[in-house]
Amino acid sequence: MNRTTSITSLQNEKVKAMAALLDKKHRDRSGRFLIEGVHLVLEALQEGADVETIVIDAQRGVPAELRAPLGQADCELIEATPAIMAKCTGTDSPPPVFGVVAKPRADASALYRPDSLVVVLDGVRDPGNAGTIIRSADAVGADAVVLGRGSVDLYNPKTVRSTMGSLFHLPVVEGDLAELLPEAKTRGIHLVGTSLQATATCYSYDWRGPTWLLLGSESTGLSDEALAMVDTRMIIPMHGRSESLNVAMASTVLLYEALRQRRYAT
């Protein structure tokens, strides 16, 4: 890496442009987003993401874990002041490093692989939950995640942080469920969702065929339109006194049952 510059002014135009990526409208307009912290920057570099700029806190220096990867990376390196680090990141304690990454083009063909397992978010608005669901999907080897309209912005810094790098491991497709769900059904994909009124449990469903798991918003569940498309409704059995699981926890339970049946059932 040989394109290293030092910036100290908060009024620098590049600093203003990077700080603007904290807002969705600027991310949409520029096609770029922020990654914060050593782990996410390392994941992005290792997975071949289109990292355009990496900014290091000049007072703390290059983190040890990044020295070798940065030596091979083809991107701009900026040494900045702690004040600039704080302005351009969304955490209370600014990280020692952040990056600017071009939004990837997700491979939609992954949605229709034979025996595909895809997670579909319908109006999931909490960035922590959405990021955790992406992370769980990655952990079980799901083929892709779909973010339907009305869900949280994939590139919200909180969502990105919550994925813990899984954002770079599997396709995450943003799209209109009114188009994607009917297309999936025409291709023989089974659509499943949870419902408190269901009698079948998630353990009685055969997860081994091509399946899209639909997950609704934290407060209202699946929309009426999505629920009307569901082929199978199921419930996660609960034997304690807890009223419910949040959508991220529920997704993990369901996805690991799918993994158990697909990889470990005897």
CATH number of the domain where residue 122 is located: 3.40.1280.10
Q: Both 76 and 123 in a single domain?
A: no
pLDDT band for position 244 (50/70/90)?
confident
Distance CA 226, CA 8 (A): 50
Task: State the pLDDT at residue 198.
Answer: 84
Q: Which of 49, 70, 102 is the last residue before a domain boundary?
A: 102
Is the pLDDT reported for residue 96 higher than 70?
yes
Q: What average pLDDT does the segment 82-99 reach?
A: 93
Which of 112, 20, 101 lies closest to 55, judged by CA? 101
Asked if residues 215 and 247 have their Cβ atoms less than 8 Å apart, the reply is: yes
Rounded mean pLDDT, 177-184: 96
Which of 42, 74, 102 represents a domain boundary (last residue)? 102
Residues 122 and 252 in one domain: yes
Q: Is the pLDDT higher at 195 or at 93?
A: 93
The residue out of 85, 102, 119 marking a domain boundary is 102
- Two structure tokens written together for 41: 């920057």
Same domain for 79 and 27: yes
Give the range of the structural domain holding residue 229, as residue numbers without chain letter. 108-264
| Beta-carbon contacts of residue 3 (< 8 Å; ≥ 6 apart) | 75, 76, 77
φ, ψ dihedrals at 132, nearest 5°: -65, -35
Task: Give me the half-sphere count of Cα atoms (radius 13 Å) on the Cβ side of residue 196.
Answer: 7
- Label residue 92 by pLDDT band (50, 70, 90): confident
Helices (H), 141-235: 157-163, 177-186, 224-229
- Same domain for 114 and 93, yes or no, is no
62 & 113 share domain: no
User: What's the domain count of the chain?
Assistant: 2
